[in-house]
């Protein structure tokens, strides 16, 4: 259960690398919406869940302890090395985000990969990331605004990471592209029953 096969490791690394590059573009979205969120900075939290997706996809597809954290760290560090505007803080964010998803799967002993567990993973990532950002970037933000930002983070984590990650995994599994991985094997067993 806990040993990574070559294909598990390859898929985890590919997910992380693909998102690491994509995150450069997604980071620019924050620059573009800056004028829109200037009046109510906590609204930026609505976009947070996308950052947690590499962890969720790796966790749901590979289903090995550490896959979620590894994919998220690869995405974060690669994004940082390619010039992310948040610098070294990107790596700490990767640790928080991947750790949140990993914690949700750990709570089920890596035995349940359902929509509620995915939503929980997205929300735990959101909570950890919000804590890091409050400390690192938003110390001066009032607690009322920080609470609103936390609410937006949790909603985004649940929907953009949990629900979207779960739906994307199901769609990918149904194509047969990941039949050699744990998610694909489970799908084959269920279909055969």
pLDDT in tens, 111-156: 999 999 999 999 999 999 999 999 999 999 999 999 999 999 999 9
- Kindly give, in sequence order, each residue whose CB lies less than 8 Å from that of residue 39, ignoring residues fewer than 6 positions away: none
| pLDDT tens, position by position, 66-121 | 999 999 999 999 999 998 888 899 999 999 999 999 999 999 999 999 999 999 99
State pTM to two decimals. 0.92
Q: How confident is the model at residue 180 (pLDDT cuts 50, 70, 90)?
A: confident
Mean pLDDT of 160-167: 98
Backbone angles phi, psi at 16, to 5 degrees: -60, -45
Number of domains in the chain: 1
1: in domain: no
User: Would 67 be classed as within a structural domain?
Assistant: yes
User: Which CATH number do you get for residue 28?
Assistant: 1.10.1760
Residue 130's CB is within 10 A of a number of other CB atoms, namely 23
Range of the domain at 72: 6-192
Kindly give, in sequence order, each residue whose CB lies less than 8 Å from that of residue 67, ignoring residues fewer than 6 positions away. Answer: 4, 8, 12, 58, 59, 61
């Amino acid at each position: 259960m806990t040993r990574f096969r070559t294909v598990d490791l390859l898929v985890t690394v590919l997910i992380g690398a693909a998102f690491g590059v994509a995150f450069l573009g997604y980071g620019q979205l924050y620059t573009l919406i800056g004028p829109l969120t200037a009046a109510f900075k906590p609204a930026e939290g609505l976009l947070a869940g996308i950052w947690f997706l590499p962890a969720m996809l790796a966790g749901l597809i590979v289903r090995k302890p550490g896959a979620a954290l590894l994919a998220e760290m690869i995405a974060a560090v690669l994004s940082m090395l390619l010039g992310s505007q948040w610098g070294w803080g990107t790596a700490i964010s990767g640790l928080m985000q991947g750790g949140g998803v990993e914690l949700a799967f750990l709570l089920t002993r890596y035995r349940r990969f359902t929509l509620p567990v995915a939503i929980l993973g997205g929300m735990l990532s959101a909570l950890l990331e919000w804590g890091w950002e409050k400390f690192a970037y938003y110390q001066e933000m009032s607690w009322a605004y920080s609470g609103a930002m936390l609410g937006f983070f949790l909603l985004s984590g649940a929907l953009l990471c949990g629900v979207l990650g779960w739906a994307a995994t199901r769609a990918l599994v149904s194509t047969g592209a990941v039949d050699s991985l744990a998610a694909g094997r489970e799908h084959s067993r269920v279909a055969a029953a």
